[in-house]
Chains A and B, each alone.
Chain A
Amino acid sequence: MERYFLAGSTIFYLWGFAYSLVLLRVGKFRPGRLNLCAVVGGFTLQTGFLVVRGYLLGHFPVSGAFETLVFLSWSIALASLVVGRIYRLSLLGLFAAPLVIGLQLVAWFRFAGLETVQLGPLVGEGELPMAMVLLAYGVLVVVVVAGVMYLVQERQLKMRVPGLIFHLLPPITNLSEAMQRLLGFGVGLLTLGILAGLFADESIGHGGSVASLLVWIISAVILFLWSRNFLHSHRVAQVCLAAFLLLLGVLPAIHMLEGPGTK
């Protein structure tokens, strides 16, 4: 049953994304009710999936790669929704949508045949650190998304005659501020997740620990250099994007080295 929620959520996101792209292409894009319906519908169904999946597993749904991917996708969607509202970052959702959709599609196709296994108590101590780490990942991914938007808008501003998207993208100062706050929040959350993992009976796995430590080090170094003015917003956006692409290749490898099996 939960898979219907997942399919429905993916369809909502895909519809919203495709609809917005078409409107952008013909120069008629204006954030409106249809986009909001798509995002709210997709997020609600995504949340529904996690609730049902958690109920069926008897666990917080981050115990396997299947749930982990969906939870990460949910974290990105949540962070985009909240940050987009707070900082009035129009198009943040649109820029984040390919990642959200991509993660859900990978989860759907790779783990479609996975059976539901009853694992035990409702919230094991190992799930909470994992959930915090994934939420932090979601926040950090939104930093990268905001960074990409920063680079696009900066390029538009440096052009003699900017393109149509210039009018729709938010001011670079707002993007920079959002990136800095989010990076700080993401590092903080990740720190808590890692510390909680150390004290939990059930660890998040060797691969997971290495991965989260790696992400923490990279994020903390960027934040430190930025706060000390060794890096400016433009460079931060570039470094964040490069780090994200690097981690995209490294993290799955770390998990694979840890061995097969999705707990």
Chain B
Amino acid sequence: MKIFCLGLSHHGTEIGLRERFAVEERKLPATLEVLRSQAGLGEVVLVSTCNRVEVYGSANNLEVASRACVEILQKMAGAKAKFYQREEDEGARHLFRLVSGLDSMVVGETEILGQVKTAYATALDGGLTGPTLNRLFQQSFRVAKQVRTETGITRGAVSVGSVAVELAEKIFGDLKSCRVLLLGAGQAGGRVARSLRSRGVRGLILSNRTYQRAAELAEELGGMALHFNHWRNVLNDVDIVISSTAAHGRLLSAKELAYMREARKDRPLFLIDLAVPRDFDPALNHLEGVFLHDIDSLQAMAGQGLAERRREVVQCEQLIAAQVEEFLGWLWQRPASLPSENLVSL
């Protein structure tokens, strides 16, 4: 039995085509069964996410099996696409890189590991895996853990939203006790607010010149809308202020905040200015306990995070290469036929 990986991903296939090939979670067991029985696979795992659809299988004749898999997938999708194929060591390397986040759109992201674990668990539950894929996937999860702990591939935020979250966490620690004020109902501000919300911030107040728009966004994000004329009244009650209004003048000056901060006592204030022209006076950053970041600095930090992760890729590849060697050593030394075994710990 030889192993192979067959798939399409965000690297070469546009989203319109990817969504046609995507397999819903509820249809996964049936699709796996079809692939195994009709393509003559000994074992099979199907990974379907928004960025990729990949089949991992083992078969005696890779050429025949992979051609059959492509035909089945194309028939199910009702479309044709160009699939990539990796065999043996390249197949193992591909999976190890995938679970480590090296093949992701955002290098180093960890969501893919959970998705692959779910896909493997589905195949395992259906009895569609055997010793080869069990060993391959179990080892891939160990590789992902090793890569995450021994390299800095997941370190640093790589989007404006995640940078804002990281900065907020370095100011306040746990965000669960923080309250956020969002000025303006633009997309950029909404995205940052969503990122902070996902980290469990306690309260979210939205204020926009058009109250209706603020109310709509407040309902969507689970916050409270406030008339724009009143946002200054709550400034001392919040910890983070995100601003993305289209105002032409400064909304807040250093002098004004210095006066208001007396009542804040020792609580820090994090200001996120996403507006162009800027809403907050840059001199605010010089005030004690006030931290101001604008869109340029957030983007620069995201770029730095991405560059740091890219620098780590070399070390990740070295770790993965050693693990591929280990897997191949096992694959080539094991007896030709092993009884089916199910390894269960994920």
Where the two chains meet, the residues of A that have a C-beta atom closer than 8 Å to any C-beta of B are 27-28, 30, 153, 156-158, 160-162, 166-167, 169-174, 176, 226, 229, 232-235
Contact = CB atoms under 8 A, between A and B. Distances in A.
Contacts of B265: 229, 232
A234 B268 CA distance: 10
A166 B156 CA distance: 10
B304 A161 contact: yes
23 contacts: A27-B152, A27-B308, A153-B170, A156-B170, A157-B167, A157-B291, A158-B285, A160-B297, A160-B300, A161-B297, A162-B301, A166-B170, A167-B156, A169-B170, A171-B172, A172-B268, A173-B173, A174-B173, A226-B266, A229-B266, A232-B265, A233-B266, A234-B289
B268 A160 contact: no
Given A162-B301, A171-B172, A232-B266, 16 more contacts: A27-B152, A27-B308, A28-B152, A153-B170, A156-B170, A157-B170, A158-B285, A160-B297, A160-B300, A167-B156, A171-B169, A171-B170, A171-B171, A171-B173, A233-B289, A235-B288
B202 interface: no
B155 interface: yes
Given A160-B300, A232-B289, A172 B170 contact: yes
Contacts of B304: 161
The 6 A-B pairs at the shortest CB distance, nearest first, are namely A171-B173, A160-B297, A161-B300, A232-B266, A174-B173, A234-B288
Nearest to A226: B266
B258 to A, nearest CB: 12
A169 B169 CA distance: 11
Contact of B291 (A158, A167, A229): A158
Given A28-B152, A161-B300, A232 B172 contact: no
Interface string B147-178: 00100100110000000000101111100000
B237 interface: no
Nearest to A180: B266
Contacts of A233: 266, 289
Contacts of B308: 27
A32 to B, nearest CB: 9
B296 interface: yes
Nearest to A234: B288
B11 to A, nearest CB: 28
Contacts of A176: 266
A138 B142 CA distance: 42
Given A157-B167, A232-B289, A173 B297 contact: no
A232 B288 contact: yes
A173 B171 contact: yes
A173 B288 contact: no
A152 B291 CA distance: 14
Most chain A CB inside 10 Å of its own CB: which residue of B156, B268, B291: B268
Given A232-B289, A233-B266, A172 B171 contact: yes
Most chain B CB inside 10 Å of its own CB: which residue of A27, A162, A167, A173: A173
A150 to B, nearest CB: 11
A233 B333 CA distance: 63
A261 to B, nearest CB: 46
B163 to A, nearest CB: 10
A96 B152 CA distance: 25
B261 to A, nearest CB: 9
B289 to A, nearest CB: 6
Contacts of A161: 297, 300-301, 304
Most chain B CB inside 10 Å of its own CB: which residue of A28, A161, A166: A161
B155 A167 contact: yes
A235 B266 CA distance: 11
A157 B266 contact: no
Nearest to A27: B152
Nearest to A153: B170
Contacts of A156: 170
Interface in B308-329: 308
Contacts of A30: 149
Nearest to A88: B173
Nearest to A168: B155
Nearest to B315: A28
A162 B265 CA distance: 26
Contacts of B296: 160
A157 B297 CA distance: 11
B180 to A, nearest CB: 16
Nearest to A175: B173
A153 B173 CA distance: 13
B166 to A, nearest CB: 8
A30 B301 CA distance: 21
A169 B304 CA distance: 18
B267 to A, nearest CB: 9
A229 B155 CA distance: 36
A39 to B, nearest CB: 20
Contacts of A160: 293, 296-297, 300
Nearest to B169: A171
A49 to B, nearest CB: 35
Interface in B104-158: 149, 152, 155-156
Contacts of A174: 173
B95 to A, nearest CB: 25
